[in-house]
Amino acid sequence: MSEFLWYIPNTVEPGHRGDDTRDGWGSIEFSTDLARAAQEHGWGGALLGTGWGRPDTFTVATALAARTTTFKPLIAVRPGYWSPAHFASAAATLDQLSRGRVLVNIVSGLDNLAAYGDGNADPAQRYARTQEFLHLIRRLWTEEAVTFSGDHFQVTDSTVAPRPYGTEERPHPTLYFGGASEAAERVSAAEADVQLFWGEPLAGLAERIDRLTALSERLGRRHKPLEFGLRITTLVRDTSEEAWHDAEQRVAAMAAKGAAETAWAVGNSHKKAVGQERLLRLAERGEVLDTCLYTAPGKYGGGGAATTWLVGSADEVAAALQEYRKLGISHFVLSDTPYKREIGRVGDQLLPLLRDTR
């Protein structure tokens, strides 16, 4: 069974990724409207963006869970912002209150660390800390009287109450994690439930899936097999011609607006995360890869899931996503802007095609 999620930007600043909605950003009404729209148009839930200087992600997720009935918030959290015991307790409580609707996305990338007192900027140490964080919250969710002494976290005789809302298929909230570096892949292979990829060509992701599967075996993974997810922008229109026209128009506007910023991004890609650098370099291989993976946005300021787009009619984008599914990818976090309009368009046109062939 595949999981289909949307994305809620969770920011007070208007204009996120070109969304021209002017009012309401950062309000509970704005985010609730998006969550309810996602629920109504067939999405299982949505990833909630995180970062210092934005609304607190867990607080927003709690409010949205209370205002919806089936919506599952994928809550992005940072190990340097939360202690594992505190997070395990908060997430288990919300999971019980929402009857099992909590999903968790662990983020290790750099943020404004000094603003909240996190002095651990070294990548190797951050990933080692993330692995301990994941290991410990799993134990706190499933064991009693946990004692753990690691390099980064310690607890003594710790029991979380209440427990998560567990079932046979899902003993605790699903743990998503992303990252393309060797250190990040070791974290996923050992402790994550879902490795979340950005939009790379099929061949590259096939190699990474094979590598992660083999790494899981070498590390003696103690959990159920690692699953895989894709976080990508999907620009869907009634026809292929309309989709590519709109995509090219949007990229042209990005180029006109941010040429200087783009030059910095490409020229300094060595300073970026490994995954982001991989995406930025895709444009060197061509503007369109596979059938409809558009790389041009990465040249003009796109970042993360906005670096590459799947562009086309609903049938074409669905066919492209089916190819990712054949690789073993079963979790999809999709989005486009304006968020509210595209929740409906992509949900109504694309999701039925994907569910018909699950």
Strands 3-8 and 329-335: parallel
The pLDDT assigned to 272 comes to: 62
DSSP reduced 3-state for 216: helix
The pLDDT assigned to 263 comes to: 38
The pTM of this model reads 0.93
Reported as a single tens digit per residue, the pLDDT across 256-265 is 886 444 433 4
Domain spans of the chain, in order of start: 3-232+311-355
DSSP 223-280: SSPPEEEEEEEEEEESSHHHHHHHHHHHHHHHHHHHHHHHHHHHHTGGGS-HHHHHHH
- How far is C-alpha 278 from the chain's CA centre? 17
Would you mind telling me the total number of residues written for the chain in this entry?
358
Both tokens of 69, joined, read: 């009935």
Residue 112 CB coordination number (10 Å): 10
The pLDDT assigned to 110 comes to: 66
Both tokens of 12, joined, read: 């007070």
Listed in sequence order, the residues at least 6 apart from 215 whose beta carbon sits closer than 8 Å to its beta carbon are 185, 186, 189
Residue 29 CB coordination number (10 Å): 10
The pLDDT assigned to 69 comes to: 98
Euclidean distance between CA atoms 240 and 316, whole angstroms? 8
Fold of the CATH domain 3-232+311-355: TIM Barrel (3.20.20)
Low-confidence ranges of the chain (pLDDT < 50): 259-271, 358
Torsion angles phi and psi, residue 241, rounded to 5: -60, -45
Extract the runs of DSSP E, i.e. beta strands, from 116-193.
146-149, 154-158, 174-178
Q: Based on C-alpha coordinates, what's the Rg of the chain?
A: 20
Residue 217 CB coordination number (10 Å): 10
Strands 174-178 and 103-106: parallel
